[in-house]
Amino acid sequence: MARAFLVVMDSVGCGGAQDADKFFNGDVPDTGANTLAHIAQACADGKAEEGRSGPLHMPNLAGLGLGAAVKLASGDEAPGLMAKPVGLWGAASEVSMGKDTPSGHWELAGVPVPWDWTYFPDTKPTFPDDLTQAAARAAGTDGILGNCHASGTAIIEELGEEHMRTGWPICYTSADSVFQIAAHEETFGLQRLYDMCEELAPVLHGMNVGRVIARPFIGTKEQGFTRTTNRHDYAMEPPSPTLCDWVHDAGRHVYAIGKIGDIFSRRGIDEVRKGADKDLMGHLLDLADQAVDGSLTFANFVEFDSLFGHRRDVSGYARALEWFDSCLPEFFAKLGKDDMVIFTADHGNDPTWVGGDHTRERVPVIGYGLGEKEIGLRGFVDVGASVAAHLGVPPAQGTGKSFL
């Protein structure tokens, strides 16, 4: 029986979103943002030479049609990626009015977001008093630290020592609809951090804030602070059944790699595997061997976004793309003749752009195991419908059209 692998390369957009002018980084609209094209152009121009060199080298995804997808989506060339396609290729546009993780993933899984998310103002203090008080009560402290928009790595460097001294949690947000809590795994306690997030999640979800995120870290001021892989997202549940539910309810097995389990509140998911991206690639390779017939493996590789996109690190992003692509021959060699893989993304995060927020972009849709086929410009929801069609599982009515 056929298996399906849906692999989200977090933030690997390809430009061209027709509504990019409605989304901003600070005061600058996202018009013209193009994560893949701009990285490829920087590499070709010798402007991404830290830890790598030369044109962007992704022969496996480029051979399937990645460069062609960039050109289709945006009209931009992606130097080094413009091979003649031998796989399924196209691009997809999002209709949800957010450029965030839940919106992108839910819509890829067949469910556009039907409401507007709540975003916190970029002021200090950022959070309303009643939320600040609720956070302190949940932590069992007299107050919180942070209460601002911040980079997660920067704020633990700034406030980590004070956090360890006072015991107050570090609460912050970003341009996403999110409430993030950073705390030291040893001095504050990992389970205490999880309990705090779990208590606050219904409050935030009631405000239409999409996620509460536990951001544990370790270290000292002298040695430096480092975030661990024990992050946990407490996300709102999708408003209706998603691809995960369709497959699970049909009696099939659903594997979640990375933060997929958190994004979908573990609904419709049988097994979760987590870790850093290198660990996640190991899980993906293992499941290429081990996943049962008729199953869905849904994976998210987050470090393109979290380590390099938000930090506007072009060289780092290029290194991550090249590493990911270099792992694919081993993955492909493990697949059966009836297996299908779709590589896509949930939004953009152009590291050449202003600010540090996601960028509104179309995303590539690249298929392996489906022959050579151009699918044109599609909707995010068509991805979920196509995976369901490959597995012989009926999608919910009105949730996209298969491109297979």
Angle between helical axes of 190-206 and 129-139 (0-180°, round to 10): 150
Is 10 labeled as ligand-binding? yes
Q: Is 347 annotated as belonging to a binding site?
A: yes
Q: Thinking of the domain 129-235, which architecture would CATH place it in? A: 2-Layer Sandwich (3.30)
- What distances in angstroms separate CA 124 from CA 146, 162, 200, 372, one per listed residue? 9, 18, 21, 53
| 346 appears as a binding residue in the annotation | yes
SS3 37: helix
**For residue range 90-103, what is the model confidence (pLDDT) as tens digits?**
999 999 999 999 99
Every domain of the chain and the residues it spans? 4-114+239-391, 129-235
4-114+239-391: what CATH class? Answer: alpha beta
Helices (H), 109-150: 129-139
| pLDDT value at residue 80 | 97
What is the structure's pLDDT at 1?
87
Which pLDDT does position 234 carry in this prediction?
95
Q: Is residue 310 annotated as involved in ligand binding?
A: yes
Helix H segments across 6-128? Answer: 35-44, 59-64, 66-74, 101-108
Which two three-digit tokens encode residue 329?
């021959």
pLDDT of residue 244: 98
Cα–Cα nearest to 352, from 67, 47, 53: 47
Residues of the chain with pLDDT under 70: none
Q: What is the token pair recorded at 156?
A: 């633990």
> ∠ at Cα 133 (129, 134), nearest 5°?
115
Cα–Cα distance measured from residue 129 to residue 137, given in angstroms and rounded to the nearest whole number: 12
pLDDT in tens, 29-66: 999 999 999 999 999 999 999 999 999 999 999 999 99
Helices (H), 12-169: 35-44, 59-64, 66-74, 101-108, 129-139, 152-166
Q: What is the pTM of this model?
A: 0.93
Q: What is the structure's pLDDT at 352?
A: 98
